[in-house]
Amino acid sequence: MTITESLQDRSMVYGQTKQTLLLFDDGHSTTAMSSTHWSTVSTWSKAGVGTCIVLELKDPPPPPPPPSSSSLEDAILHHHQTPTTKSSRTGPRIVFDVGATPCFDDAIPAKYVFLSHGHIDHVGALFSHARAHAMTCGGAGATYFVPAPLLPQVELCRDAMAVLDASTSRPPPDADGEENKGGSRSKSLIDMKLVPVRAGDEMPLRGIKCGSKTSFFMRAFDVDHAGHPALGYVIGSRTTAGLKEEYRMLDGAQIRDLVKSSVSVMADPIERIEVAYTGDTCARGLTKKRRGGDDNLDTTINEGGCKPPPFDIGQLFGAELLFCELTYLDSAEDETRRYVASERGHLHINDIDGIFASHDTYRKGGGISPNVASQGDGEKPTSIVFYHLSAKYQPACHALDLIVEGLPHQLRGRCHVAISSLLSQKEKKTVEDSINELIRPCGCISLAEYLQWKAALLPGRS
């Protein structure tokens, strides 16, 4: 029996509305890498090499059985009439950063790309993506959100790449002055819409909806990446809630009369912060009250002299799915490396406890910002994915051991690690009792499953 089969035999699997929760008999638990509407397709990240995270909109839930389906036979009939196989066509996708990584094929269909900053390991495949998306997705260019101070440089690079892409070996005109057209082209295939973004900006993700009631938006927030222009992002959803409760028993004529009288009859939409992405940042960029204001409200002044709407950094820690950078994994006693991490604009494993504790994420319901729908009374963030590990901590098992050693135990059950980039050749080739069996198709591993796997191997090593 493989390790994965053993884990499956020893776990209880619960189907929940928005996620799957695995409970292991050693007390650890792990949540699925998804939010209410988004699932993780691919994650590949290695500090200084490349980072790319691909999400896909989930299929809408199947319609409920007809009201008349009260018998077992009717329920079975409805089940068999409901499609259970997923279409081969991908749903709408979004991408956080687009470094040159093995995730590239999964990223091509993405209509929206969120760039956290301009370092090459996060934008190395930017123009390749723009070209590939335009060629394979109906000719329309994707939309790229770019930190506003970097827009001129990105445009300059785009123009240079377009000139290179349009280069032709077409021969000069013939003796009669006629152009020798041959079969070459002289126009670049790079097509992209660049949108400058500043901290506090909110923009709708047009063209992406779930059913007729739920739309999506992004918000940008400031982070601290050693002075480099950098942003993080949250992805939220708004679902129309219909009439206010006090008007739901009225008929159409009564509702029309109220509307004509300028009475607001519609309830506020239900807002969820579903996904958060930190980009590259040090602890100062994520710790609550880092700016000396109330609850860490971002009040940065834009170039035009206007303040954007305040951004509560607590939104990140109320998200259903949080992607959080984690570059340095040295032992808890090595404060020198922690200082280096801060100076370079990255997180150290010793920073995690203070950051999450500052947002009350160790208690149920913690991290939920005001005016945001609470998904039950569970812990927030529901699921955490650490990425951007440094290659110096290879092989993968060594990196995971350091994370387990330094990570607060309260977080282990909801943490995953983007680990496929750190697999050694030996780890990749090992078949029996291999860590490969625990790595999910999206490239991540659950810390709870890793601990279970290690515990299962220990008796054989003694």
Q: What are the tens digits of pLDDT across the range 35-70?
A: 999 999 999 999 999 999 999 999 876 666 665 545
Higher pLDDT, 10 or 194: 194
Least confident of 3-12, 222-231, 408-417: 3-12
* Architecture of the 33-58+89-166+186-461 domain: 4-Layer Sandwich (3.60)
Could you state, in order of their start, the residue ranges of all structural domains in the chain?
A: 33-58+89-166+186-461
DSSP state of 122: H
Assign 143 a pLDDT band (cuts: 50, 70, 90): very high
Residue 232 and residue 116 in contact, taking contact as beta carbons nearer than 8 Å? yes
Give the residue carrying structure tokens 């940065």.
Answer: 300
Residue 128 has pLDDT above 70, yes or no: yes
pLDDT at residue 178, as a whole number: 60
User: How many C-beta atoms lie closer than 10 Å to residue 353's C-beta?
Assistant: 16
Residues 111 and 129: their CA atoms lie apart, in Å, by 10
Per the model's pLDDT, the better-predicted residue between 258 and 303 turns out to be 258
- What Cα–Cα distance (Å) separates residue 365 from each residue in 15, 305, 320, 356? 21, 37, 11, 13
Neighbours of 457 (CB within 10 A): 11
Using pLDDT thresholds of 50, 70 and 90, give the confidence band for residue 403.
Answer: very high
Q: How many CB atoms lie within 10 A of CB 131?
A: 20
In the chain, helix, strand, coil percent, each to 5?
30, 25, 45
Q: Which of 136-145, 382-391, 404-413, 453-462 has the lowest average pLDDT?
A: 453-462
Instruction: Specify the pLDDT at position 63.
Output: 63
Residues 253 and 374: beta-carbon distance below 8 Å = no
Q: At what angle do helices 151-165 and 126-136 cross, to 10 degrees?
A: 60
Check: CB of residue 308 under 8 Å from CB of residue 199.
yes
The pLDDT-based confidence of 313 (bands split at 50, 70, 90) is confident
The dihedral through the CA atoms of 275, 222, 362, 418 has a sign that is positive
Q: What is the mean pLDDT of residues 199-220?
A: 93
Quick check: 3 pLDDT over 50?
Answer: no
Q: How many CA within 13 A on the CB side of residue 244?
A: 11
In the chain, the N- to C-terminal Cα span, in Å, equals 20
For residue 337, what pLDDT is reported? 84
User: What is the rounded average pLDDT of the residues 247-275?
Assistant: 83
430, two tokens: 């090992």
Q: What is the pLDDT of residue 436?
A: 87
